[in-house]
Amino acid sequence: MKSKKLQRRLALFVAIAIVLSLFVAVTLILAMSGCQKADAQHLSALPASPAPGDDQEPAAADLINLGESQIQWVALTDAVCPGVASMAASAKSPSPAKKIKAKCHLVNPLISNPGRIAFTFDDGPGRHTERLLDALKSFNVRVTFFVQGRAAERYPHLIQRMQEEGHQVANHTYSHVFLTKADPLIREQQLLETSDIIENLTGSRPTIMRPPGGHRGEEVYAEAGRQGMATVLWDIDTADWVYKDAGYVYDFLLRRARAGKIFLMHDIHPTTVDGFIQALPLLLDHGFVPVTVDELIQLQPGDVYPAFWRR
């Protein structure tokens, strides 16, 4: 009697164990298929447009809107910068993306396609420009500075030094005015005054200008053309002004450096200067040859470069 009772209990126990295992297995299968479905929905919901001019951009890029301007989109993917895409996704709104402090330190630099490359620095000169010039001189490297007229008045010796050391000095308006929103007379004066200041310091007028904030249009291109300048934007925005992190700038340059491209940076940020100085010897070691914009591309007054900005 007793053993039969024991057998029945054992059978019941085994049956319960089987049912429980089946339940766990079914739950796991359902959960996994749910994840795949969510991933598929997530990917299909992502915008397909790549960063301006960057044909290397992965298709499924996580994009965050960094401001009012249509050009202030930065593609951030876990492939490009591990961890940053998820940070960006969680910071979409309402918190301003500008506050994201991105850290993505590189294990293996993914340098590819070395060759001539144009590094450009906007908004200066400033307190950190001298340090940048020292580093450029020590590596015998030339870049392009899009300077503000008012900053040139404050640091005239740095403008002269840029010229003496072979850098290209270009026009970024007198006081960083958004030219599409400005009165035509202001637009003319902002550019004219800055070119006058540069000419007084260097002996030659700038042949290229970059509109502040990338605010561009036919009226801007035409005014630049009337003043003997082409409009030069950029191929790749490092977003250095968003992250203000030397490690970010360093990683970005090593991962995204490509021959023939114009990179946008700002020498008014110490983090940009630090990150660039750290990345520079590695980029040189890997065969990149920094050149000025006029060495990279021949432009005529009124031209717009890169051309895709005019579309």
Which residues are marked as active site?
122, 266
* Smallest distance, Ni ion to C-beta of residue 47, A: 25
Q: Are 254 and 263 in contact (CB under 8 A)?
A: no
By the rule CB under 5 A, 212 interacts with Ni ion: yes
Stretch that binds Ni ion, among 23-31, 59-67, 210-218, 283-291 (CB under 5 A): 210-218
Residue with tokens 């029945």: 8
By the rule CB under 5 A, 267 interacts with Ni ion: no
Query: Of 122 and 245, which CB lies nearer to Ni ion in the complex structure?
Result: 122
Q: Which residues contact 121 (CB under 8 A, 6 or more apart)?
A: 129, 132, 143, 144, 145, 146, 265, 266, 267, 272
In this structure, what DSSP letter does residue 49 have? Answer: P
Residues between 80 and 139 with contacts to Ni ion, criterion CB under 5 A:
122-123
Q: Which residues contact 291 (CB under 8 A, 6 or more apart)?
A: 116, 117, 118, 142
Stretch that binds Ni ion, among 20-28, 67-75, 204-212, 299-307 (CB under 5 A): 204-212
Stretch that binds Ni ion, among 37-45, 206-214, 237-245, 282-290 (CB under 5 A): 206-214
CA distance 285 to 160: 29
By the rule CB under 5 A, 235 interacts with Ni ion: no
CA distance 81 to 84: 6
Query: Of 139 and 178, which CB lies nearer to Ni ion in the complex structure?
Result: 178
Query: Of 214 and 275, which CB lies nearer to Ni ion in the complex structure?
Result: 214
* Smallest distance, Ni ion to C-beta of residue 173, A: 8
* Count of positions on this chain that bind Ni ion (CB under 5 A): 3
Query: Of 211 and 290, which CB lies nearer to Ni ion in the complex structure?
Result: 211
* Smallest distance, Ni ion to C-beta of residue 268, A: 9
* Smallest distance, Ni ion to C-beta of residue 67, A: 13
For residue 168, the SS3 value is: strand
Axis-axis angle for helices 246-256, 270-285 (nearest 10): 30
In order of 141, 209, 216, 301, the CA distances from 305 in angstroms are: 22, 10, 12, 11
Q: What is the CA radius of gyration of the chain?
A: 27
CA distance 270 to 259: 26
* Smallest distance, Ni ion to C-beta of residue 181, A: 14
Query: Of 53 and 212, which CB lies nearer to Ni ion in the complex structure?
Result: 212
CA distance 224 to 301: 7
Query: Of 151 and 230, which CB lies nearer to Ni ion in the complex structure?
Result: 151
CA distance 268 to 122: 8
* Smallest distance, Ni ion to C-beta of residue 212, A: 4
Written in H, E and C, the secondary structure of 111-156 is: CCCCCEEEEEEECCCCCCHHHHHHHHHHCCCCCEEEECHHHHHHCH
Q: Which residues bind Ni ion (CB under 5 A)?
A: 122-123, 212
